[in-house]
Amino acid sequence: MAESESEEGNCDNRGKVENLKTDMEELLEKMEKLTVRAAWVAFDCVAIRTNPELPSALQHLQDAFLLCKEQMDKKWQEVLME
């Protein structure tokens, strides 16, 4: 009986270790994503300070992208209707 109880304890510990490992991996992944976002924010700040025209150029690029995306969606709907 003592052996089966200790085996159950080992299984519980293994499950806890696996949960801990999974939790740590998820936290590290979140930290990596936040680090990348922070790096992009810093990059954007530096880029905007060195070129004040950049925000308007980026806005123009975003508008053109959205217009293109809208046109592609319309064409895609037309293709699906045929």
* Dihedral sign, Cα of residue 72, residue 75, residue 81, residue 82: negative
Query: Are 57 and 35 contained in the same domain?
Result: no
Q: What is the pLDDT of residues 21-58, one digit of tens each?
A: 899 999 999 999 999 999 999 988 887 788 878 888 88
For residue 66, the enclosing domain spans 53-81
The DSSP output letter for 82 is -
33 vs 17, 23, 45, 47, CA distance in Å? 24, 15, 18, 21
Query: Are 4 and 35 contained in the same domain?
Result: yes
The per-residue pLDDT for 1 is 47
The per-residue pLDDT for 20 is 86
Query: Are 36 and 71 contained in the same domain?
Result: no
- What's the total number of domains in the chain? 2
The per-residue pLDDT for 6 is 52
Rounding to the nearest 10 degrees, give the CA dihedral for residues 17, 22, 27, 32: 130
